Structure 1
C-alpha cells in the first residue's frame, strides 16, 4: 500500500488504496486477495467494501469477487473531460505548427481511452472519436504509456486485453513488445507505423508526472507523416507534454 500522506484521513486513504489495488488487478479481487495485498485486517476491508458497494463504487460479483462499480464511470468521465480541457490549447498549437491531427489519451483499465482531439485542416486527415478505446500494443499513445510502466505491469495489461494484430505490421507477442518499449524509453517517443491502420503513421510521447498514464500524439497519412515530419514533431510533442503535465499538477 502507498505511504499515508501527511495530514491525510486514514479511512479515505484506505478506500482509495483498495480501489487502486482493484484497478491494478484488472478490476476485480476477492476479500482474501485484498487482505494479502494490504496491511489491513479482513474485517476492516469488509467494512470498507460494504460501504463502497452501498454507494455503487464497488459491486460484489456472483463468484464473491469484488469489482469496480458503475458510479466510478461518472467520476472518470468528469476527470477525462477536465484533462481534455487542459490539453485542448496545446493540441491546437501542435496542429497549427504541424498541420496534422493531434490527440490525447489516457490508460483506462487495460485499454487506451481517447479524451481529446484537434483535427488537421487537411481534407484527408486522421479522425479519432473522443471516447474511443483501443489496444495499447499497436497505438502510438498506448506504447508511449506502456514505456512508463514496469515489465510485469505491461505483461499483465496485454495478457488481459490481448494483442490482436490489426495489420501485418502490428507487434503480436509480449516479448517483442517489451523489447520495443526499451527502444521507446531510450529515444523518448513512440511511433505507430502502419500498425493500427495501413497508410497511417503516428508519433507520440507520454505526459510526464501525469496523475494517470497519459500521452499525446500527432498522426496522419504516411505520405505526409514521414521521418522528416517526425524530426519536427517530436520536440514539439515533448514540449507540449511537459507543459500539459505541469498544468495538470497545478490543477491537482
Structure 2
C-alpha cells in the first residue's frame, strides 16, 4: 500500500486495460496509431502492450493491422455473467436465512440426479449433516421429494429403480408406491426422515428447464412454526425463479 492508505497502482496494467476498453469502443477494430491517440499512450508503449495482449489472447490482430477483442475477453465475460447470477441468487438465499434463522439450499434434478448447487448457512444456522448422499436419499429429503414431484410417475419410478429407498431413520418412507404416486404439494415437508432432530421444507423453483427447488432446514422442534416459514420460503423461491428465468440458466454448482 502507498502512504495514506492508497493502493499501489501498476501503470502498465492500467494502460493495458485502457487499450482493451478503447478496442471495445471500435466495433470493426482499431489500429495501433488510432489506439495510441485515443488513449494518449506513447506509440512505442502501445505497440508493446498490444503485442502482449495478442500473445495472451485478450486481443486479436487482423490482416489489415486492426486489433479486435480476443477470445480470452469473451471467456471473462461469460465467467462474470455466471458469477453475477450466482451472486444474485446467494443474496436472496442469505436474506431468507437471516429472516428464518435456517440453513438454505438450492437444488435441481439434472441428468437423472439430485444436484445441490448452493448452500447458505451460518454458525447459528448450520446445514444438515449430509451423512447420506442426497442423490441416494431423494425419498427421505424435502429437497429430493420436491424435485421428484416435478417428474412424471414413470420418471420417478425410474429414479427409484436406480436408487431403491432405504431406511435412514425410523420415520423414513420407503414404500415405492407411495413415493411414486404421492400428491404434488406447493411445499414439501421432511420431518426427521433424513436425519433425526432435523426438519426440512422445500418449494419449487420454476423457469429453469427442469425441476429445481429452494429448501430450508431447521431443528424439528420448530416444525410447529411451519406456517411462519412457508410464505417467506415461497416468496424467495418465486424471486429466484424470476432471476433464473431472465438469466436463462441455472447457477453452476459451487
Cα shift at 1:81 = 7.3
Contact 1:215–1:241 (8 Å) recurs in 2: yes
Residues in 1 aligned to 2:128 and 2:197: alpha-carbon distance in whole angstroms: 14
Contact 2:202–2:215 (8 Å) recurs in 1: yes
CA deviation map 1:133-189 (0-9, x unaligned): 432111111111111221111111111122122111111122111343x0xx2x411
Matched, 1:189 2:187: yes
Contact 2:128–2:217 (8 Å) recurs in 1: no
- Per the alignment, residue 239 of structure 2 pairs with 243
Larger Rg: 2
- Per the alignment, residue 125 of structure 1 pairs with 126
> Normalising by the residue count of structure 1, what TM-score does the alignment of the two structures yield?
0.59
Equivalences, count = 166
- CA shift in 2, pair 1:127/1:82, >3 Å: farther
Residues in 1 aligned to 2:164 and 2:99: alpha-carbon distance in whole angstroms: 36
RMSD across aligned positions (CA): 2.5
Cα shift at 1:86 = 4.2
Cα shift at 1:211 = 2.0
CA deviation map 1:78-100 (0-9, x unaligned): x9978744421111111111011
- CA shift in 2, pair 1:245/1:226, >3 Å: same
Cα shift at 1:198 = 0.8
- CA shift in 2, pair 1:192/1:82, >3 Å: farther
- Per the alignment, residue 215 of structure 1 pairs with 213
Residues in 1 aligned to 2:156 and 2:162: alpha-carbon distance in whole angstroms: 10
- Per the alignment, residue 118 of structure 2 pairs with 116
**Unmatched segments (≥5 aa) in structure 1:** 1-78
- Per the alignment, residue 61 of structure 1 pairs with none
